[in-house]
Every structure is written in C-alpha cells, then in structure tokens.
Amino acid sequence: MRLGIRRHRQADNDFMIIHISQIKQEEKERLEIYCHDKTGNEITEIVRFVKSRQGQLTGMIEGAQYEIPVSDVFYIEGVDNKVFIYCEKQVYETRQKLYELEEILKEKHFLRVSKSVLLNLMKIESIKSSLNGRFTAVLQIGEQIIISRKYVPELKKALKGGNL
C-alpha cells in the first residue's frame, strides 16, 4: 500500500509531500524526513511528537538537549509558563505545554493530579489522605506530590485498573 499526500502552503510552489508505505511485519518501522532546514520549528515539532510516542521526551538543561525515557520520569510540572520534567536525579525543562504532554502520555500511566502536575503512576510508593479531600502521593524518591480533590476520583479509577 502506498499513500501520497500533498499539502500546499501559501506559495504556489512551496509544498510538503508525505508518503506512507505499508511494510512487512518483520521489517523495522522507520521515519525519514527530507527537508531544507532540519532545525525549523515544523521539523522539530514532528521529531518531538514521534519521539514522545516511542517513549521518549526531549528536555533541556542549561541549553543542552537530552532524550529522556518516559520510564525515567517521576512527574511533570508547569510553573510560571515553563514546564519541567522531574527524574530521579535531574530536572529538565521542556518546550512542550503541559496539556500536550498530558495527551501524549495518557497511554503511559501518567495522570493529571492538579492543575499544574502530571504524575507517573508507576513511580508512586504510597498514597495517603490529606486535608480537605486531597491526597498526597509519596514517590519512590521520597518526594511528595499533592493530589487535588478534583482529580482524586480519576486517580482512584486509574488505581483500580480503569482506563486512563
């Protein structure tokens, strides 16, 4: 099966061609991008999206870019219009928005537990009730994350084996 798509932009001769080919089951899947500027925003967004679907996020520390396996992430927090990825020993900044990460990671055991936090449910050591209907998740690294009461029902559902 071969599928070709042409997406026209504003200029008459400026377009992107997308080809999708079905391959045999034993062949390794791959993605090739042919572009004029590999550092352009469109290409960066495409690469970031593909990597996140494969289980990697892109984060930065002091301008250096790193690939972070999703399994290493404890939680993700939005603070002052910036988004941070918290791992066991490092904190990375990412350009992705919290709602984008929520959509990408919902199939990977991540759940929004407050307005500004996505929590990796696989990194929870224990959960205890707090004041005013809130809960506190104690992570494997000892850090505590407050779970807002608005998100407690979804957390209970997820922990009982419900779909995220």
Rounded to whole angstroms, how far apart are CA atoms 138 and 105?
20
Q: Global pTM?
A: 0.69
Q: Which residues pair with 145 in a beta bridge?
A: 137
The 10s digit of each residue's pLDDT in 112-141 is: 999 999 999 999 999 999 888 899 999 999
Domains of the chain: 2-159 (2.40.50.1020)
Q: Between 105 and 49, where is the model more confident?
A: 105
SS in 3 state form for 64-101? EEEEEEHHHEEEEEEECCEEEEEECCCEEEECCCHHHH
